[in-house]
Amino acid sequence: MSSRNTRRNAMLMGASALVICGALPAIAAAQTAAAPAQGVDTVEEVVVTGIRASLKSAQEIKRNSEQIVDSITAQDIGALPDRSVSEALQRIPGVTLQRTNENRDPARLASEGGGVFIRGLSWVRSETNGRDIFSANNGRALSFEDVSADLLAGVDVYKNPSAELIEGGIGGIVNLRTRKPFDSNKRLLAFSADYNYADLRDKGFASGNVLYSDRWNTNIGEIGLLLSGSIGNIGNRTDSIQTGRFEERTLTANDNPAAVGKSVGDKVYIPNSIGWRRIDWQQKRTAFAGALQWRPNDQWEATFQMLTAKADPHDIERALGDTDGGYAATGPGFKYDSQGSITNGTINNFHLTADTRYGEQHKKTEDYGFNLKFTPNDRWAFSADAQYVKSHASVLSMTAFTQMDPTVPSSLTFDISGDDPVLKLNQATDTTRTQAAYWWAAAMDHIEDNSADSKALRADAEYTFEDDSWLKSFRFGVRGTDKTSLTRQTGWNWGLLSNQFWLNNANTVYLNGTGYDATHQSPNLPLQSELVNYNDFFRGKVQLPGVGWFPAEGLVSNGAAHAYGYLQNTQSAGWGWAPLTEASYANSSPAGDNPNGGTNSQGEKTKAIYALLRFGHDETPLGRMDGNVGVRVVKTEVNGGDQIIKVASLQGTPGACAAVTPAISCTAFNNAYAFTQGGSIAGGSSSNSYTDVLPSANLRFFLKDDLQFRLAAAKAIVRPTFSQMQSYTNLSFNFEADGFTPKAIDPRSGSGGNPLLKPTKSNQFDASLEWYFNPAGSLTFATFYKDISNYIFMGNATESYTSGGQTYSFLVSRNMNGSSGTIKGFELAYTQFYDFLPGPLSGLGLQANFTYVDSNGGKNTAVNLNESAQVAGAADQTLPLEGLSKTSYNVTLLYEKYGVSARLAYNWRERYLLTTSAANIQRPVWSEDYGQLDGSVLYSLTPQYKIGIQATNILNARTYLDVGGANLAPRYSWTDTDRRVAVLLRASF
């Protein structure tokens, strides 16, 4: 751990030194500008275009905002610095990116980055054009990776809100701004096209977008119209090697511990699985934005905006290895590191399992908004706003498994001690490449159908004071929303096919077979498997571990019913796997494999009112100042329907209990059995309501014309997710191994959602010092402190239920409000073009930022209360908060001159806790330090046309993950993904 601290401190000092050293030319330039040489009558005009124009626009937004905000802007269509919104956001100080779509699924990295964190917190609220927006997967936040960056004019990140901003983001608010026709004074026709090549995938993908905008003076006033559309195709490949969790073992004399420098009785740690996988991912993303504006006169203006974003990703995964865990025992050939974690050796009797997994998603979000402004005079301004959002997401996953007959001798030689792991599967070539050595083992599918929609109305008014030395304006308004969320999800439907290592089924169907008996035959069944050789594995930098026979891609990618048409012929009568259908949602419920299982319908209404007073004065001890103070009061009403209470069935019957020898008391079992047979249990209402009062204040002092000092304080909330408020309770009776004697500890238990959860709250304070030494140059320092309460965590309570004439108390686990903690840190940012340098060097620029975040207290939330490892991990107070890197930084080298616009950007974040308990592994997982270099070069052929090249992951950064607790977490995962190179054309007329 000391080496990690040393590296972190070095990064801290290096990044700070970089920004400070970069500021020295700015100071020199500012001094030179303040005292121009005598006799100089003219200065060279700096033409603001491209990168410089985008940075200038972003700086003006930050400089003129009443709140603490950071922005990125796109001067040209399709000109955000990255291919997706989430990737672009990570360039902003305080913003970090999680590179998995789901933190509990670290085996599958996201191609374009997953969750967005602001100042170490995932509680981020998303907006489009100042209006709330969300995705159907959770009904709260937007999946930023699903939104096309091509249609955006810019993105604003609010760090500390004021009263008129919509509540709901403790980490911050991300506002996506689309373009409007009145933004430009002239007609605009623009398009861009690119071809993006992924080197590991060895495939290219074409994308393009177009925008048309114009405004006209007519007899009914000025009218503007903007239409834009985007089609984005992208794909990538990930190669990975992974072990499972590390289990503790005690060395014995049979292990010959002296041979590896150990002693009898020493504790060592050995993974319970090991394997390798490849995922080919591809997505088509389409988006359309439109805006219609009408200004009949100087008093009225109406704007209609719409945005639709659709993403259709699919992937095919092939994983090969031993997940049986039978080798997780000591052996004389194993070697260990200083902490006792295994580093290399040979695993004999390797149980080889191959699975082919196909995933398909269809996600669509539509946002419609209308705004009407009325300014009758210089004193009053009114506005009314209406919005409708609807979102839908469907998910299909289909997996089939094969296994190699364990009678085929095989072993695995491995060395996982370094950055380049070595795995070698040792087996005869003829058996490796023969279908007859593998049998059909299992199948698994999963489906989801989620939807959400929201209606919002808002009205605002502002009164401007005239000739007042302090008061500037008073703004007030109301907002109401009506949101519904419906999730329908199944668990992961795993079922046997013909055999397993532990089964020894007489009716085993090998891959070259056609069925298990004469009446269950499929002549094409042998064609439903294929040999996979993992060509160019890790680009050849890691030895190919081995090849295997897998279920064919066509078997799993055409739907579960298609797969069942073949796989039903591998299953002996009376057991096995059958595919899920729409009817399966009704039979599903939250369980260990999916906390969102079943149907969850939630309704939420909010009513908010706010008042905001703006003020300012030209003379104070700190110079000119301005600011605002306000309060927002919001009432939230939640309705999740009546509680659904389910009781787990017992494994025996009263008759079976009575037959137990020696005789035991059956009274407890018989009464429990009567309880389970009592029919449905009436549950209470899941309605809940609460009111929050959210004051805020923002002060700004102009110490000099180019130097600002800000202070901000606010109270913020983030509401619980709809999944956490799910209206269900699962109850169970717990018996000893005989099935009839109640356990002495926790004889009755349960778990459930909690519709009565309240928001997590934060009292937060910010201060910043901002020096704007030229239109595209600044040096800023911001510090923040958040005092957070009402964390959501798992707690236990005794609850009483009656059924079948019996009343019992159960110890029920639910998420509850409680605990508190603090988040604090600072951000340092610097931007400058070095115009004072001679000749071509005057096009150079630098943009850099550094963030430090620390936390104290607080609790992680157990995503799945039905999984004991998840509950235990979330309760482990030795673990830090999920997703929080103490340090992160960005350094971007810029160049803009002679028609060339270029950037080389490096983004880095420190090791952090990805999840307190990863799926399947059931242990905490950490993401190690990660840095990625991206770049782009554009050249203006003419004022209308630009050509260029963009490169992502230039240095082929490898992702490393660790597994274990705070004191022992060896590396367990190595993953490579594509370098992507895009050639592009942009045009604007």
- Cβ-Cβ contacts under 8 Å for 151 (sequence gap 6 or more): 178, 179, 209, 211, 228, 229, 230, 287, 288, 289, 307
Cα–Cα separations (whole angstroms), residue 92 to 72, 288, 850 = 8, 26, 10
Q: Would you say residue 647 has pLDDT above 60?
A: yes
Range name among 778-782, 875-879, 883-887 with the lowest pLDDT average: 875-879
Phi, psi at residue 600, to the nearest 5°? -130, 110
Q: Would you say residue 962 has pLDDT above 50?
A: yes
pLDDT given for residue 326 in this prediction: 57
Q: How far apart are the first and last CA of the chain?
A: 57
Contacts by 337-340, CB closer than 8 A, 24 or more apart: 337/417, 337/970, 339/269, 339/968, 339/970, 340/266, 340/267, 340/268, 340/269
- Cβ-Cβ contacts under 8 Å for 431 (sequence gap 6 or more): 404, 408, 437
pLDDT given for residue 138 in this prediction: 65
Q: Mind listing the pLDDT tens digit for each residue in 828-847?
A: 999 999 999 999 999 999 99
Strand partners, 319: 277, 355
Across the chain, what does the average pLDDT equal? 89
Q: Mind listing the pLDDT tens digit for each residue in 151-204?
A: 888 999 999 889 999 999 999 999 999 999 999 999 999 999 999 999 999 999
- Cβ-Cβ contacts under 8 Å for 406 (sequence gap 6 or more): 349, 351, 501
Q: Mind listing the pLDDT tens digit for each residue in 15-67?
A: 443 433 444 443 344 433 333 333 333 323 333 458 899 999 999 999 999 99
CA dist 319 and 858 (Å) reads 37
- Residue entry with tokens 């085996």: 107
- Cβ-Cβ contacts under 8 Å for 862 (sequence gap 6 or more): 793, 794, 815, 870, 871, 873, 874, 875, 916
Range name among 70-74, 267-271, 328-332, 673-677 with the lowest pLDDT average: 328-332
Q: Are 613 and 629 in contact (CB under 8 A)?
A: yes
Q: Mind listing the pLDDT tens digit for each residue in 351-372?
A: 899 999 999 999 999 999 999 9
CA dist 474 and 625 (Å) reads 17
Nearest Cα residue to 488 out of 594, 597, 359:
597
Nearest Cα residue to 412 out of 501, 321, 502:
321
CA angle 366/367/370 to nearest 5° reads: 150
pLDDT given for residue 748 in this prediction: 95
Residue 201: Cβ within 10 Å count? 19
pLDDT given for residue 2 in this prediction: 42
SS3 call for 909: strand
Cα–Cα separations (whole angstroms), residue 744 to 306, 698, 740, 806 = 61, 58, 12, 20
pLDDT given for residue 180 in this prediction: 95
The amino acid that residue 59 corresponds to is Q
Range name among 14-28, 284-298, 465-479, 700-714 with the lowest pLDDT average: 14-28
Structure tokens at 563: 């797969």
pLDDT given for residue 480 in this prediction: 98
Range name among 201-205, 228-232, 296-300, 876-880 with the lowest pLDDT average: 876-880
DSSP state of 357: E
Name the burial class of residue 389, with classes exposed (0-12), middle (13-18) and buried (19+) by CB atoms within 10 angstroms of its CB.
buried
CA dist 71 and 93 (Å) reads 10
Percent of the chain with pLDDT over 90: 68
> What's the average model confidence in pLDDT over 882-892?
95
Range name among 39-43, 239-243, 262-266, 936-940 with the lowest pLDDT average: 39-43
Rg of the chain taking only CA atoms, in angstroms: 31
Residue 719: Cβ within 10 Å count? 22
Confidence bin at 686 (pLDDT 50/70/90) = confident
Confidence bin at 432 (pLDDT 50/70/90) = low
CA dist 319 and 274 (Å) reads 10
Range name among 158-167, 199-208, 246-255, 449-458 with the lowest pLDDT average: 246-255
pLDDT given for residue 37 in this prediction: 35
Nearest Cα residue to 893 out of 844, 966, 949:
844
Q: Would you say residue 965 has pLDDT above 50?
A: yes
- Which stretches does DSSP call E strand in 219-341? 221-243, 246-250, 267-271, 274-295, 300-322, 335-336
Q: Are 463 and 376 in contact (CB under 8 A)?
A: no
3-state helix, strand, coil in the chain (%, to 5): 15, 50, 35
CA dist 795 and 802 (Å) reads 22
Please list the alpha-helical segments (H only) found in 303-354: none
Q: Are 74 and 80 in contact (CB under 8 A)?
A: yes
Nearest Cα residue to 891 out of 860, 935, 924:
935
CA dist 80 and 847 (Å) reads 15
Return the CATH number of the domain spanning residue range 2-344+360-988. Answer: 2.40.170.20
Q: Mind listing the pLDDT tens digit for each residue in 648-658?
A: 989 888 888 88
pLDDT given for residue 49 in this prediction: 56
Q: Would you say residue 858 has pLDDT above 50?
A: yes
pLDDT given for residue 663 in this prediction: 72
Phi, psi at residue 12, to the nearest 5°? -60, -50
Percent of the chain with pLDDT over 70: 92
> What's the average model confidence in pLDDT over 616-627?
92
Please state the domain extents for the chain: 2-344+360-988
Confidence bin at 8 (pLDDT 50/70/90) = very low
> What's the average model confidence in pLDDT over 253-278?
88
- Residue entry with tokens 């058996």: 431
CA dist 966 and 959 (Å) reads 20
> What's the average model confidence in pLDDT over 704-710?
96
Range name among 591-595, 610-614, 937-941, 945-949 with the lowest pLDDT average: 591-595
> What's the average model confidence in pLDDT over 961-987?
94
